[in-house]
């Protein structure tokens, strides 16, 4: 080593391992293959270059560095060749498995199913059209939190099944345990609710290894209704979004197209509907019945008719009278097609619209028959069930015989007035047009009042359950209001007439008169044969009315939400705190007794 190198080593001993690299860098003719080093000052470069020239052993060191680099490059090439050889060997050994036609078909099918599921999820989200951020989410989260809190309170206060829960819980637990042949004769509905919970329990037991019966306790069965109420909120939103695009702007009647945030608020308000909200907290069939009927209708308005018919068939398993709403859904398919053709826009007369509709149906009869085939199959299957069962009711048929209870329609109009009070008050400034229209047509007014008087006089019916069971609000409403005197209902007929005018005006403006007629026929078909005055029978007719007449006024929606919230809180508080005892009880009705809808 030269004297200059000795001098550098004495000044900085750490350069002992750096100098060969500098020499290799500056002596190499291939700059691209040489390792990069930090930039040196020009004085350093001159020093190192002089040392190479003056040192007799510099050529030997440079040769050693070159040999070291070449060996390193050869080892790296050899390792890469070994890896590629191993990959080829592995590919040859597994080519028989992965290149087999069945394996290739399975891989292709799996990828296709994955793509299809992604497309379905994407289309579902796009159809929901949920707002990215909205203060309605705060109300929805608050409602869900309050509902869960109320469920916990009810589970702690009422640890045993109450009222009809006794039959429903017992039957669901039989199915969860696999006792499929056991059936309680007191149950009058088909086993849709129990089958749903049995499927959930069997799936949960299969995944966790626990007995199925553990997932059919009273608390878990009640929790299933909470989950279904969340799904009802989503389904309502999809219906509002689809129907809001069909709204006509009519300031004279207070109708305007609504925004998606307003659709979400309408859905939230209807989810808090007192009758529906209260039965969310207990194990009854009402929540599942509403969910599948609305889901069937939502699929229908999005032209998924096979899915709609299947969901309608499931809804019938929850309550037999839902077959009426399957027929309603099928009828709306034809009505929407006729409305989309634009043939009903130029005539406002009811009989003219009926004549046009009949002509269109006869002209496209076979097309409509193929379109409605899924719904017709459900209707035909239900007809076979009625023939084999000997009636629509299963189990205890004596307490649910069909009667002609025409005043039920008047009770429904009063029910609708009470629970849509903010809407009816708002309609006071728009309804004068409708009232004046009927003032100049006294025949219609006379026909309504004569029909109502005849219905009250000849067809009023008092069910034994209504008179004997003082745990329901209908017992007190009947005694204190509707039947307080023999003439109380006659005094309330003007209120019924006002509500009837508003319903007809709103539905006929948003839709055709043909649709309005179909709605009233289906409502009458569901509630008139019922001898018992039960507000639960009015849930679906009311919800379907409100879904087709969405509210765009934020003030009215807020007042309606406040009304429902107050009623719900008071109802739950009375159920929890206002208890009483019966002198004569049995195992099915243990004390204490509670008030409920």
Per-residue model confidence as pLDDT tens digits over 404-417: 889 999 999 999 99
Q: How many angstroms separate the CA atoms of 25 and 20, rounded?
A: 9
Do residues 293 and 539 make contact, with C-beta atoms less than 8 angstroms apart?
no
**pLDDT score of 116:** 58
Ordered DSSP codes for 381-426: HHHHHHHHHTSS--S--GGG-----THHHHHHHHHHHHHTHHHHHH
Angstrom distances, CA of residue 547 to CA of 31, 235, 247, 510, 557: 77, 11, 12, 11, 13
pLDDT digits (tens, 9 = 90+) for 175-219: 888 888 888 888 888 899 999 998 888 888 888 878 878 888 888
Would the pLDDT of 433 be above 80?
A: no
CA quadruple 382, 385, 390, 391: dihedral, nearest 10 = -30
Do residues 175 and 197 make contact, with C-beta atoms less than 8 angstroms apart?
yes
Where do we find the tokens 């009809």?
Answer: 164
- How confident is the prediction for the chain on average, in pLDDT? 77
**pLDDT score of 289:** 93
- Name the DSSP class of 213: G
Would the pLDDT of 272 be above 50?
A: yes
Q: How many angstroms separate the CA atoms of 313 and 382, rounded?
A: 9
Determine if the pTM surpasses 0.85: no
Q: How many angstroms separate the CA atoms of 22 and 44, rounded?
A: 10
Percentage of the residues of the chain whose pLDDT score is greater than 70 = 72
- The predicted model gives 234-251 an average pLDDT of 73
Q: How many angstroms separate the CA atoms of 83 and 412, rounded?
A: 80
Of residues 344 and 525, more confidence is placed in 525
Among 565, 563, 567, 557, smallest CA distance to 266 is for 557
Where do we find the tokens 């060996």?
Answer: 71
Find the angle CA(466)-CA(421)-CA(552) to the nearest 5 degrees.
Answer: 135
Would the pLDDT of 225 be above 60?
A: yes
Q: How many angstroms separate the CA atoms of 316 and 142, rounded?
A: 32
Would the pLDDT of 518 be above 70?
A: yes
**pLDDT score of 97:** 40
Question: What number of H helices and E strands is found in the chain?
Answer: 28, 2
pLDDT-based confidence at residue 27 (cuts at 50, 70, 90): very low
- The predicted model gives 164-173 an average pLDDT of 89
pLDDT digits (tens, 9 = 90+) for 532-541: 888 999 999 9
pLDDT digits (tens, 9 = 90+) for 325-337: 999 999 999 888 8
pLDDT digits (tens, 9 = 90+) for 521-568: 999 999 999 888 889 999 999 999 999 887 777 888 888 989 999 999
- The predicted model gives 68-81 an average pLDDT of 76
pLDDT-based confidence at residue 109 (cuts at 50, 70, 90): low
Q: Phi, psi at residue 267, to the nearest 5°?
A: -65, -40
Q: Which of 22-26, 124-128, 221-225, 261-265 has the highest mean pLDDT?
A: 221-225
- The predicted model gives 149-178 an average pLDDT of 87
- Name the DSSP class of 492: T
Partners of residue 250 on adjacent β-strands: 255
**pLDDT score of 249:** 44
Q: How many angstroms separate the CA atoms of 105 and 109, rounded?
A: 6
pLDDT-based confidence at residue 463 (cuts at 50, 70, 90): confident
Would the pLDDT of 519 be above 90?
A: yes
Where do we find the tokens 């004596």?
Answer: 398
How many CB atoms lie under 10 A from the CB of residue 316? 26
Would the pLDDT of 260 be above 80?
A: no
- The predicted model gives 22-47 an average pLDDT of 41
**pLDDT score of 346:** 67
């Amino acid at each position: 080593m030269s004297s200059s190198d000795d001098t550098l080593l004495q000044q900085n001993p750490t350069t002992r391992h750096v100098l060969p690299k500098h020499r290799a860098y500056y002596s190499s003719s291939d700059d691209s293959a040489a390792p990069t080093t930090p930039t040196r000052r020009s004085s350093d470069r001159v020093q190192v270059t002089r040392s190479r020239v003056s040192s007799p052993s510099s050529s030997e060191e440079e040769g050693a560095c070159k040999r070291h680099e070449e060996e390193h490059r050869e080892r790296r090439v050899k390792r890469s060749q070994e890896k590629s050889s191993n990959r080829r060997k592995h590919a040859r050994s597994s080519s028989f498995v992965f290149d087999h036609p069945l394996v290739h078909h399975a891989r292709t099918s799996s990828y296709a199913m994955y793509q299809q599921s992604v497309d379905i999820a994407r289309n579902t989200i796009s159809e929901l059209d949920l707002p990215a951020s909205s203060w309605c989410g705060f109300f929805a989260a608050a409602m869900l939190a309050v509902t869960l809190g109320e469920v916990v309170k009810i589970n702690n206060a009422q640890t045993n099944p109450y009222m009809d829960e006794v039959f429903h819980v017992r039957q669901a637990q039989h199915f969860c345990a696999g006792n499929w042949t056991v059936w309680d004769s007191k149950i009058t509905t088909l086993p849709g609710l129990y089958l749903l919970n049995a499927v959930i329990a069997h799936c949960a037991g299969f995944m966790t290894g626990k007995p199925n019966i553990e997932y059919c306790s009273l608390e878990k069965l009640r929790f299933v209704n909470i989950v279904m109420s969340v799904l009802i909120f989503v389904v309502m939103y999809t219906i509002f979004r689809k129907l809001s695009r069909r709204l006509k702007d009519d300031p004279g009647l207070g109708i305007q197209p609504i925004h998606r945030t307003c659709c979400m608020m309408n859905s939230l308000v209807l989810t808090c509907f007192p009758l529906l909200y209260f039965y969310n907290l207990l194990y009854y069939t009402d929540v599942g019945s509403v969910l599948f009927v609305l889901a069937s209708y939502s699929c229908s308005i999005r032209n998924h008719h096979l899915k709609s018919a299947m969901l309608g068939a499931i809804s019938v398993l929850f309550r037999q009278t839902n077959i009426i709403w399957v027929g309603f859904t099928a009828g709306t398919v034809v009505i929407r097609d006729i409305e989309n053709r634009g043939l009903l826009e130029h005539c406002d007369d009811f009989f003219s619209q009926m004549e046009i509709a009949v002509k269109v149906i006869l002209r496209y009869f076979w097309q409509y028959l193929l379109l409605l085939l899924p719904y017709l199959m459900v209707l035909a299957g239900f007809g076979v069930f009625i023939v084999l069962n000997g009636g629509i009711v299963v189990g205890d048929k004596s307490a649910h015989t069909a009667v002609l209870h025409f005043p039920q329609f008047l009770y429904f109009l009063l029910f609708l007035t009470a629970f849509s009070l903010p809407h009816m008050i708002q309609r006071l400034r728009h309804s004068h047009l409708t009232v004046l229209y009927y003032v100049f047509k006294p025949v219609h007014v006379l026909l309504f009042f004569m029909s109502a008087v005849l219905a009250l006089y000849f067809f009023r019916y008092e069910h034994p359950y209504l008179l004997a069971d003082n745990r329901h609000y209908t017992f007190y409403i009947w005694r204190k209001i509707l039947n307080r005197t023999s003439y109380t209902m006659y005094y309330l007929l003007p209120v019924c007439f006002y509500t009837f005018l508003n319903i007809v005006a709103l539905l006929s403006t948003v839709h055709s008169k043909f649709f309005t007629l179909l709605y009233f026929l289906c409502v009458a078909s569901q509630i008139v044969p019922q001898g018992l005055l039960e507000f639960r029978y009015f849930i679906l007719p009311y919800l379907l009315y409100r879904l087709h007449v969405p509210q765009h006024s934020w003030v009215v929606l807020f007042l309606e939400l406040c009304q429902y919230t107050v009623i719900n809180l008071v109802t739950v508080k009375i159920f929890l705190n206002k208890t009483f005892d019966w002198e004569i009880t049995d195992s099915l009705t243990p004390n204490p007794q509670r008030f409920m809808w």
